[in-house]
Amino acid sequence: MGEHTEPSAFHPNRAGIRKVLGDLEAEVLELVWERSGESGVTARDLYEELRQRRPIAYTTVMTTMQRLHKKGLLECDRQEQAYVYSPRMDREQFIERFVGRILDDLLASFSGATLSHLSSAADPGERERVAELLARIVERRQRGEA
């Protein structure tokens, strides 16, 4: 197996695993995880599923899976005439890995600020409570309540 390229881009405004992966990469990886109980999936399997959602080329799916393999997120085995892909890590392991990678990078570059923010986020529940209250308040003010 060749050298893997880790996901390197981080998009803070995007949701879920799309923070570190492209849209199609994320979609393909999600599908591979969904089918992780199977012995593996081929590019053809995913192509058949994705084309039901929108028009897409087989080569696009194949290229995306190869890219995920290069990034070290998918295993690739040649079985008979086809390449069979399976996830190298489950969703939790992947999230843990990219969160750790981002935090390590932040700590290396801005250790003081990162540690300060981590300590202030000691109670994530409190942040959620404030965010929820603010959302309610914004909604009520938009309805014209003073």
Partner 1 sequence: MLLSTAIVAALVGIAGVHLAHRAKNPATRVHLALWSLAVIPVSLSVCALSLSGRFSVGNPFCDDCPTGTLASLVFSFGATALSLALLVGLLRIALLTHILRRGLFPAPAHLQGRADDLARRAGGREVPVLLFGSEMPVACTWGLVGPRVVLSTWMVENLDMEELEAVLAHELAHALGRDCPTIWLATLLRDATFYLPWAWQARRAVITGKELLADDAAVAATGRPVALASAIAKVWQRSLLEPPFPAGTALQLSEAGSGLQMRIERLLGPEAAGNERGSEASRPVSTTGRFGPAAPAQLLVFSLALVAVCSLV
128 touches partner 1 (CB under 8 A): no
> Reduced to 3 states, what is the DSSP secondary structure of residue 90?
coil
CB of 121 to partner 1, least distance (A): 7
- Nearest distance in Å: CB 128, partner 1: 11
Q: Which of 57, 82, 103, 133 binds partner 1 (CB under 8 A)?
A: 133
Q: Are 33 and 75 in contact (CB under 8 A)?
A: no
Judged by CB under 8 A, which stretch of 15-23, 26-34, 73-81, 130-138 contacts partner 1? 130-138
For 37, residues 6+ apart whose C-beta sits below 8 A from its C-beta are none
Q: Compute the distance between CA of residue 113 and CA of residue 119 in angstroms, rounded to an integer.
A: 10
Over its C-alpha atoms, the chain yields an Rg (Å, rounded) of: 20
Q: Does 120 bind partner 1 (CB under 8 A)?
A: yes
What is the closest distance, in whole angstroms, from the C-beta atom of residue 23 to partner 1 in the complex? 31
Binding to partner 1 by residue 127, rule CB under 8 A? yes
What is the amino acid identity at position 64?
A: T
Buried b (16+ CB within 10 A) or exposed e, 95-108: eebbeeebeeeeee
Q: Minimal distance in Å, beta carbon 108 to partner 1?
A: 22
Q: Is 113 in the site for partner 1 (CB under 8 A)?
A: no
Residue 4 interacts with partner 1 (CB under 8 A): yes or no: no
Name the token pair of 6. Answer: 């880790």
Residue among 80 and 123 whose Cβ is closer to partner 1 = 123
